Each structure stands twice: as structure tokens, then as C-alpha cells.
Amino acid sequence: MREVSPGDLVFSFVDTRVAAIGIARSYCSESPKPREFGSAGQYWEDIGWKVRVHFSRLRHAIQPRNHMDVLRPLLPERYSPLQANGNGNQVYLTERPAVFAEVLVGLIGNEARSMLAIADAEKANAVQGVGDDIDAWEHRLETQIEADGSVLETEKQMLIRARRGQGVFKERVSAIESQCRITGVDHPVHLVASHCKPWRDSTNEERLNGENGLLLTPSIDHLFDRGFIGFEDSGRLIISPVAHRPSLVKMGIETERLVNVGGFTEGQRKFLDFHRNCVLLQALK
């Protein structure tokens, strides 16, 4: 999921047929398991990743089993969506090389060629568009906090203000951090306390833990929160392969040389590990 980019083609395999083709409209973002799933996927974790995909059902839904002479040589040894006989494997989403997609497109015909042209245009005008989803999710979490009778009113306000990088959380981060790691801005009014392990994923204790934060200017906070940048434990800046580098330069980020922002505390390193594994975007252009 974290390797999907806007404009990627997604082939839907249902009941032995390639029944639809989708075009990814976003990078992935964290998301709770949809409520409409009910008891389905009971062994899945409550929080996973979501990608916006627009699917179009195919009038010419081919059966791969009828074309295995050309498809079989293109199947990988591991994580293959198809068995050698053309039946499907239990794989939810797996990357396939471009030549495999080209052969499928050729077998499906004009419908798929049209989708491929649209996908190329999507890649040229990629927009992530997941901010509203995350904001809605976090707003629901705020509502749950407000309704939680086991949490004191004063703590509720601290937790809600922490989501916005302010209040007690910012004070605790400021005891560790003195300025934006990227821009060097040190005036508190121009800084927000940005969670390394996102507020939406954290326990109430973690939401107020000063080591779960960095002081960042709002534009750098946006890049960090959405996974366009991250940090190694050593302090080395990581730039996601999907980040728009000209925009990063305008925001004050060096993209042509290695940047080290300095070391972190042991607690910060723990939270930054979560950010690298669950937030930092890994998709390739």
C-alpha cells in the first residue's frame, strides 16, 4: 500500500476474471478499518492504510487461465497474484512489472488502453488529497475524548490542544527542542509541536509525551505529518521519493545535499521509528 502512487493501474481479480481496472488517485494514508466491514477481516488490525482508487468495470473481463502461455513466464516466484494454472492466490495487493501490465492491457483491449492513457495523465498531475480523510478521522477521535467520562475535563482540553501542536504538549516538547530542526526558526509563536507518532495513533499518554514531538514551522510540520519527510535516528533528513522537490526547496529544505539536523533523545528515536515505518511515504515515481 505504501508503494502506490497516483496514476498507478490496479487490476481487480474477481471470480477467476480480471473484472475491473482502477486508477489510484492518491498515495496511501493511515485509516481505521471501515465500519461497513463489520466482522469481516476480524484478524486485521484496527488501523491500516487507505488508497483512493477509481475503478471501472470491464465489459471484456478476461480469464487469465485462458492466456497462461503468455502470462506464466511473467509471474514472479514470490507474491504472485496468480498460480501457474491461472487461478488466483490469496494476495490483496501486489506490485507487478510494467511488462506484465502491458500484456494484460493488450489482452483486454481498447478499454484497458483508454484507462492506461488516463493513468498517464493522473501521474502528470498527481495530488494526494488525503488531508480531509485524516481530519475527519481525528475529529471523530476528539469527539470520543470529549464523551469519555473517565478522562478529567482539564486533561480532555490538553489532549485536544495537543492535536494542534499547542498547550501542554508544546511546553513539554519545548523543554527538549528549542527551534525548528529544518529552518532554524526559534520564536515560539511561529512554531508548532509536531507529533512523531501521529496524534491519531497515540495513546493519551503518548499524545502529551514531550519526546513524541519536534518543534517545526507549519510548512515543515505539514511535510512531516503527511510523510513527505522523516528523520533517521542519526539526525539525517529523509526525503520521500514522492515529495515534490521544487516545493521542498521553496519551503527551506535542502534537496541537493545530505542534511543532518542533529541527534535525538532515546524516547524521540522510538517515536521516529514509528514515523519511518508507518507514516513516511515509500512510493516510487
Same-domain pairing of 270 and 185: yes
Same-domain pairing of 107 and 140: no
Q: Which residues contact 269 (CB under 8 A, 6 or more apart)?
A: 233
Residue that is written with C-alpha cell 484478524 in the block? 43
Q: Please give the Cα distance from 246 to 251 (Å, whole number).
A: 9
Same-domain pairing of 166 and 48: no
Which three cell numbers mark 169? 504538549
For 115-130, the pLDDT digits (tens) are 887 877 666 555 545 5
- How many CB atoms are closer than 10 A to CB 156? 16
What is the count of structural domains for the chain?
2
Among residues 71, 101, 124, the one where a domain terminates is: 124
For 124-174, the pLDDT digits (tens) are 555 545 556 777 778 888 888 999 999 999 999 999 999 889 999 999 999
CA atoms within 13 A on the CB side of 123: 14
- How many CB atoms are closer than 10 A to CB 25? 18
Residue that is written with C-alpha cell 514522492 in the block? 242
Q: Which residues contact 105 (CB under 8 A, 6 or more apart)?
A: 112, 113, 116
Same-domain pairing of 272 and 143: yes
Please identify every stretch of the chain with a pLDDT value under 50, giving residue numbers as ranges: 128, 285
